[in-house]
Amino acid sequence: MLMAVLAGASCSKKLDIYPHSAAASENLSTKDVELFLTGVYNKVQNAPGRESYIMFDLIGGNLITARGTGGPIQLINSIMRPEQSMISASWNGYYNALYQVNILLSAATNMEESARKNEILGIAHFFRGYIYYNLVTRWGGVPVLEKNTVDNVARSTEAATWQFVESELQQAIELAPDYSDYYYVSKDAARALMARTKLAMGKKTEAAALAEQIITSNRFKLDAFEKIFRNQQNTEEIFAFKNLTAESSIAISTLFYTYAHPVKGSYAYAPAPDVMQMYENDDKRKAMSIDVYGSDNVINKYPSGQSGTDPIIITRLAEMYLISAEAKGLSGLSRLNELRAARGLTAVNPVNEADYLDAVLLERRRELLAEGFRWYDLVRLQKAVSVLGIREALQKLPIPESELVLNDLLEPNSGY
List the alpha helices (DSSP H) in 9-84.
22-26, 30-46, 55-58, 72-79
How many CA atoms does the CB half-sphere of 183 hold within 13 Å? 11
The CATH number of the structural domain formed by 1-176+382-416 is 1.25.40.390
Tell me the average pLDDT across 345-353. Answer: 98
CA distance 285 to 364: 12
Please compute the mean of the pLDDT values over residues 296-317 and round it to a whole number: 95
Predicted pLDDT at 307: 86
Rounded (5°) CA angle 326-164-20: 135
How big is the chain by its Cα radius of gyration, in Å? Answer: 21
- The predicted-structure confidence for 213-235, as pLDDT tens digits, reads as follows 999 999 999 999 999 999 999 99
SS3 state of residue 324:
helix
User: Are residues 359 and 345 in contact, defined by beta-carbon separation less than 8 angstroms?
Assistant: no
CATH for 180-371 (1.25.40.390, 2.40.70.10, 3.10.450.50, 1.10.1060.10):
1.25.40.390
Give the residue range(s) of CATH 1.25.40.390 domains in the chain.
1-176+382-416, 180-371
The pLDDT of residue 26 = 59
The pTM of the full predicted model, rounded to 2 decimals, is: 0.94
Kindly report, residue by residue over 327-340, the tens digit of the pLDDT. 999 999 999 999 99
Residue 18 has pLDDT above 60, yes or no: no
Distance, CA of 283 to CA of 143 (rounded, Å): 43
DSSP string, 363-409: HHHHHTTTSS-HHHHHHHTT-HHHHH---GGGGSPPPPHHHHHH-TT
Q: Determine the Cα–Cα distance for residues 401 and 411; give it in Å rounded to an integer.
A: 11
| Residue 87: φ, ψ to 5° | -65, -50
